[in-house]
Amino acid sequence: MKIRMHFPTTEEGKEALQEKIAEVHVKMIKHYINKLECSPEEKVKLFYEIKENIKVKAEGEMKAGIN
């Protein structure tokens, strides 16, 4: 079986794809956290810790790309 993949070629298309990927990742993380056996407070704390970790990594990658 052959599969053809068509990726966006414009900047707007690439940005839209990145946004969609990010949305799916957030949904996956929320789903995983909701399945955990811990208190709602711990789940919220975990979600924000993951969010901050992702933010820090993204900022680091952006700085590395600039240099």
Residue 17 included in any domain? no
Answer yes or no: is 20 within a domain. no
Per residue of the chain (67 residues), give pLDDT as tens.
999 988 999 999 999 999 999 999 999 999 999 999 999 999 999 999 999 999 999 898 888 875 4
22 inside domain: no
Distance CA 59, CA 67 (A): 13
Q: Is residue 16 part of a domain?
A: no
How many folded domains does the chain comprise? 1
Domain, as residue range, for 43:
38-67
The DSSP-derived string for the chain is: ---------SHHHHHHHHHHHHHHHHHHHHHHHHHSSS-HHHHHHHHHHHHHHHHHHHHHHHHHHH-
Question: Would residue 2 count as lying in a domain?
Answer: no
pTM beyond 0.95: the answer is no
User: Any idea what the Cα angle at residue 16 is, between residues 15 and 17, rounded to 5°?
Assistant: 90
